[in-house]
């Protein structure tokens, strides 16, 4: 998995925000740019065979709007990222990792410290929960997301975000945290994210490589 040029930790951008804030949309677009590799934890869970024990666990927790327990989550994440490195899909020596949906609480963030170097955390902020719920209902129909279809599950997902995920902002507090207005159009949100990435020394170094 590693050679001389492989960094000790993956150079990482985190995308954090309440359900419906656009993490997946931004992650996908960023991941389509050369040298950015997107990994969405929810997608990894959704790709599991629901007949397996882990697949069952995912259905059990996500259908209630709750988080899957940390130990299985971080193990699954680590195995998945390692697979991508081994398959040369994600090349840590030249690519930035864009994570959406993980870490989802401070415990996960602590565990991941040994694996990732967080360059920036983009907080997609949208205090208007009515707007977020509207987006989730729309997505439920379009993407067949069972956890977005039910009103009480949606409210539970918001409550889980407030209680468990938002404290991550304090954990990483400081210059690395960038608040972005998620009620803007997806293009403007992307513009804000890219603008912030381009201020980084790590980005300028990357530019010089001309790969
Ligand atoms: P998402 O697609 O990110 O909205 O995730 C959908 C569901 O997958 C969540 O509501 C959780 O049940 C589960 N999930 C995704 N990522 C995580 C994580 N990092 N930790 C625990 N559960 C997660």
Contact 67, 102 (CB under 8 A): no
For residue 79, give the nearest of 105, 47, 51 by alpha carbon: 47
User: Which pLDDT tens digit goes with each residue over 99-155?
Assistant: 999 999 999 999 999 999 999 999 999 999 999 999 998 888 887 777 777 889 999
For residue 19, give the nearest of 182, 199, 203 by alpha carbon: 182
Q: Which domains does the chain have, with CATH numbers?
A: 10-209 (3.40.50.300)
User: Which pLDDT tens digit goes with each residue over 16-29?
Assistant: 999 999 999 999 99
Ligand 1 geometric centre to CA of 98 (Å): 16
Q: Is the CB of 62 under 6 A from ligand 1?
A: yes
Q: pTM for the full model? A: 0.94
Ligand 1 geometric centre to CA of 67 (Å): 6
């Amino acid at each position: 998995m590693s050679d001389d040029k492989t960094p000790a930790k993956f150079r990482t951008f985190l995308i954090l925000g309440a359900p419906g804030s656009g993490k997946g949309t931004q992650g996908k677009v960023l991941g389509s740019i050369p040298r950015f590799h997107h990994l969405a934890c929810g997608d990894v869970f959704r790709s599991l065979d629901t007949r397996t024990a882990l697949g069952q666990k995912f259905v059990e927790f996500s259908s209630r709007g709750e988080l899957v327990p940390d130990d299985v989550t971080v193990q699954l994440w680590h195995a998945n990222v390692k697979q991508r490195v081994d398959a040369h899909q994600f090349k840590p020596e030249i690519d930035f990792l864009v994570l959406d949906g993980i870490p989802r609480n401070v415990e996960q963030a602590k565990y991941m410290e040994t694996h990732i170097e967080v360059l920036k955390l983009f907080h997609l902020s949208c205090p208007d929960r009515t707007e977020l719920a509207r987006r989730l209902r729309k997505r439920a129909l379009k993407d067949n997301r069972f956890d977005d279809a039910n009103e009480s599950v949606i409210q539970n997902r918001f409550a889980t975000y407030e209680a468990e995920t938002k404290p991550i902002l304090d954990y990483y507090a400081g210059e690395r945290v960038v608040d972005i207005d998620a009620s803007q159009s997806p293009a403007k949100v992307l513009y804000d994210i890219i603008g912030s990435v381009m201020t980084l020394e790590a980005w300028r170094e990357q530019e010089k490589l001309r790969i």
